[in-house]
Amino acid sequence: MFVDALFGHKRGGLPAPFTGLSGNALSNLLFGMQDVPLPTKTGEVINAESALGSSVVFRCINLIAEKYAQVPIMLKQTMPTGGTKTITDHWAARALGISPNPEMDLVTFKKLIIAWRYMRGQMFCEKDVSNDESTGYLWPLTSPTMLILRDWGSPGNKVVYKYSYNVYQEHAPAPKVYTRNFDASQLLAMLDFTLNGIVGVSRIAIARESIALGLSYEAFASRFVANDAVPRGFIVTKSNLKKETKQAMREEWERALSGENRYKVGILDGELDFKAAGMASKDAEFLDSRTFQIQEVARWFGVPSHLVGDLSRSTNNNIEQQSLEFLTNCMDPLFRAQESSFNRCLLTDDELDAGYHFEHDRNALLAADLVATADSSQKDILSGVKTLNEVRDARGLNPVKNGDLTFFNLAYGPVGNGYMTTNEIRKKAGLPPVEGGDVIMGLKSQQPETPDSADPQDKNNPMGGAATPPAGPNAPEKNAPQQQAPGAKQKPGSNKSAVKRALLPIFTDAFQRVINKEALKLENLLKRNSYDISQAVAEIANEMDGYVRSALRPAVISFAELLDDSQIRAELDEILARIGREYALTSIAELGARDTDGGIRLLLTDWRGNRAKRTAEEELNTLMGDDQP
């Protein structure tokens, strides 16, 4: 009914003006910000505030809010020439990057909007912008009552937001209720899950049964601990007791064994006997039930259970992967949703057309991982994506001399028959071009370059550049080192040692991926109780033959492009087939020499540590026709 009322899909006639979404308690909490407690099957009453009594709910919301608060929000502009630049003189950039309003700091504001987003399904802020748009503030609307209506009598049937709030006055018997109407252009609206695109759905309301069950477990545990010294059961006697006698006996029993007397021994007189009743917490698998409920509630918020204190399914091997999944499956969708809301509500159409957009600096979440940060920075510098000073600036360090030079690793791949320029790579990474970045990167001659003065088409000099000196009395000896003529440029592939250095990491990485996959298959094989090692090794080797071809193809193509070798290009499939065949035969031979599980495991350890580089060096020597590395 409430969806029909909002969108006008009403049977039997035209909808009435200002038809709202108010209805029963469930629809109010699901589709609005009415703070209505909802009963559950456990008897617990759940609303946005009471749900925070669950340690798991509080941890999930607080964790997401704190992670969000530590990520900077930047206003960027996409430049026509490629790359982006940061905009700092826009009122919204200051509101989301420095302080949202004079009464609130930025971290508190960001935690607030995310907490409300997850607790109530939606969050609204009033935009307070000057006429010239030079200054502006964002004021959170934190009353739990926001009624969303559609004014069918207005132009375009616009949506109206009716916001109610209480004002407490001194000596007044009750607060005074005020109501303000907003249209969409006056608000920053941030929605969580939604079924109609206008009103957010509260996760607390949807997950109320799971949350209530967790609170019930906590309440039961509290009662159990408070009475753990009082055995539950019946005192049995062969005599019939009066009501007063039963009550006195019960009170004496509880007084003797509860409170400060817990854990003391109870003594029964005469023919009295105690019969235990009920089910112990161990029998009910109480702890397992609580653990499951922790995982269940965390699942509603997309938070891995180890981040809320449950390590029952976490190991040293998977906990890092689970943390990465939290960033990719929980935080990144939140960033994208917030960016979409900021773009729609805080930027004008002209600004959007000019390429303005908001971005979250996701690198801030990885700053604590120093190893990953250093590795990423190194790759950015060596691939020409960033200069040294750009990396230093991102880490809050001062620039250094010559830190604006760009570098490019030739082995990162050709474009056609040439190579990527620095600016081409920077453009793919969304960075602005740099001076000197349009030069194609390659292996340069050790000799300084001077203006070209030779015929590059000289037939006696296949490398181009200066013509071959004529024979004569002053001609250099046959085996003497050749001086490079002015302006001559050495062919990239002519320096074999440099080519090897450039391609060795590429070939090593390809072989390492092959070895890791092969070793994993063999380790799984060793876990079986019975197997035919010869047959299994042959099957795995044949399978790895095809995987070797796939993994080595980019490396061999880079080799051919670097040397500009048309023969290798033409015989690519045959070369890959030979590499795969030789790799498989080597595996079969080395495994065949090991006749025990322990011997095979030792071999796999050696493979993982040494085989990739060793095989890569051998293959590069084979492709170059060298007998020695």
**Three-class DSSP labels, 301-354:** HCCCHHHHCCCCCCCCCCHHHHHHHHHHHHHHHHHHHHHHHHHHHHCCHHHHHC
pLDDT of residue 377: 81
CB atoms within 10 A of CB 626: 11
- Coil/strand/helix, residue 361: coil
In sequence order, the 6+-apart residues with CB closer than 8 A to the CB of 579 are 548, 549, 552, 556, 619
d(CA 263, CA 392): 64
> At 457, is the pLDDT very low, low, confident or very high (cuts 50, 70, 90)?
very low
> What is the four-CA torsion angle of 322, 328, 330, 335, rounded to 10 degrees?
150
pLDDT of residue 513: 86
Weakest mean pLDDT among 194-203, 384-393, 486-495, 565-574 = 486-495
What are the pLDDT digits (tens) for 302-333?
888 888 888 877 776 677 777 888 888 899 99
Percent of the chain scored above 90 by pLDDT? 16
Q: Tokens representing 161?
A: 């937001």
Side-by-side strand order, sheet with 187-191? 136-140, 122-129, 187-191
d(CA 450, CA 556): 33
**pTM of this prediction exceeds 0.95:** no
Side-by-side strand order, sheet with 145-150? 145-150, 159-167, 176-183
Find the distance separating the first CA and the last CA of the chain, reported in whole Å.
78
Residue 64 phi/psi, 5-degree rounding, is: -60, -40
What are the pLDDT digits (tens) for 469-509?
444 444 444 444 444 433 333 344 445 677 777 788 888 88
Q: Which of 34, 44, 4 is nearest to 214 (CA)?
A: 44
Residue 104 phi/psi, 5-degree rounding, is: -145, 135
pLDDT of residue 447: 35
What are the pLDDT digits (tens) for 557-589?
878 877 777 788 888 888 888 888 888 888 888
What are the pLDDT digits (tens) for 218-253?
777 776 666 554 556 777 777 787 888 888 888 887
pLDDT of residue 33: 41
Give, as one character, the DSSP assignment of residue 51.
G
- Coil/strand/helix, residue 85: strand
d(CA 416, CA 620): 22
In sequence order, the 6+-apart residues with CB closer than 8 A to the CB of 254 are 230
d(CA 8, CA 358): 34
> What is the four-CA torsion angle of 179, 181, 185, 189, rounded to 10 degrees?
50
Partner residues linked to 189 by β-bridges: 124
For 11, 25, 145, 159, the CA distances from 1, given in Å and listed in that order, are 10, 13, 20, 17
Q: Tokens representing 589?
A: 């031979």
Over range 448-459, report the average pLDDT: 40
d(CA 300, CA 210): 9
